[in-house]
Structure 1
Amino acid sequence: MALFLSTFVNRIDKKGRTSVPATFRSALASGVFQGIVAYRSFTGPCIEGCGMDFMERLSDGAQNFDAFSPEQDSLASLIFADARQLAWDPEGRISLPEDILAHAGITDAVAFVGKGQTFQIWEPEAYKAVEADIRARALAQRPTLALRPKIPAGG
């Protein structure tokens, strides 16, 4: 499973091309698809990104909904119908479609923001504001994170 860490700011050219951070490409190198999957976030003005393996896990999880239920239909429309497979070129760049760029307000730079098993792509100044808000809330609320027990090798 890919793991995306850190935040990287890269330029974007007039054709919507930007370099995917080398560590993100490395995390995805063993996947069946040599690129990223991206879709418009429904929780903020950004782009959600992941590998095909994560999308397959999402698809498996969607089977927990009743077939043709409103929840299953909404999930399919918001994620799967909107998702784009963006292969990287020999220089490690992807081309982000115009509608996705417009959703995130991206024009000349992008911030790749690691979120563990997924990542987001933001307009850098917009992300700075969101990050400041997240940090302020975290300082006030002091959230905790439970760690899963480590499974022994071969177990």
Structure 2
Amino acid sequence: MKLFLSTTVNKVDRKGRVSVPAGFRTVLAANTTPGVFVFPSFHGACIMGVGSDEMERLADGTESFAAFSPEHEDAARLIFGATHHLNWDETGRILLPAELREHAGIDDQAAFVGVGKRFEIWHPERHREARDTARQRAVETKLSIPMPGSGGAK
């Protein structure tokens, strides 16, 4: 599986069009369904982006909740009810819906941030603040990532 990596800041035009970084388009093009699926993050002022294969995994994950339970309904509503499927044009641009731009505070620039199997779209300054907070938290908690086969020890 290819991963979304790096951070790229691109200009957003007056209509809300922005270029998806070429490396991100390459990862997305390998998915079953072309395009990108975007929805408002419920953990921060950013937009989450995924390919169709990761969207299917999210759907499978919501099925771990009891059908029609509050957790299932909340997850389905927050993810699937707010998702937009976008295709890029011949120059690699997508049109970010106004409600998503508003959620993330995006105006004339957008930061595309690779986070592995997903990516985020931020207002560049908000991203810097979130990144700095995450770095501080990682230092304070001595963040350690368990590696497969390592027994999951921290």
Which bin holds the TM-score, normalised by the shorter protein?
over 0.9
Aligned to 1:12: 12
Unaligned ranges ≥5, structure 1 = 151-155
| AA matched with 1:13 | D
Correspondences of 1:40-79 after superposition (within 5 Å)? 40-79=40-79
How far does the alpha carbon of each residue in 1:107-128 deviate from its partner, in whole angstroms, 9 at most, with x for none? 0000001100001000001111
2:34–2:52 contact (8 Å) kept in structure 1? no
- Number of equivalences: 150
Structure 1 equivalent of residue 39 of structure 2? 39
Give CA deviations for 1:64-107 in whole Å, capped at 9, x if unaligned. 11111111110110001101101111111110000000000000
C-alpha contact (below 8 Å) 1:33/1:87 kept by paired residues: no
Number of the residue aligned with 2:29:
29
- Identity score, percent: 47
Which amino acid letter does the alignment assign opposite residue 90 of structure 2?
P
Distance 2:118 2:75 in 1: 17
- Determine if contact 1:9/1:110 at 8 Å carries over to the other structure: yes
TM-score by length of 1: 0.93
Stretches of structure 2 that go unaligned for 5 or more consecutive residues are none
- Give 4+ residue runs of structure 1 displaced > 2 Å after superposition: none
Please give the secondary structure, in 2, of the residue aligned with 1:81.
Answer: helix
Q: Is the 8 A contact 1:34 1:88 kept in 2?
A: no
Measured in 1, the distance between the counterparts of 2:134 and 2:20 equals 25
* Aligned equivalents of 1:2, 1:53: Cα separation in 2: 12
Q: CA RMSD in A?
A: 1.3
Q: Which residue pairs with 1:116 in the alignment?
A: 116
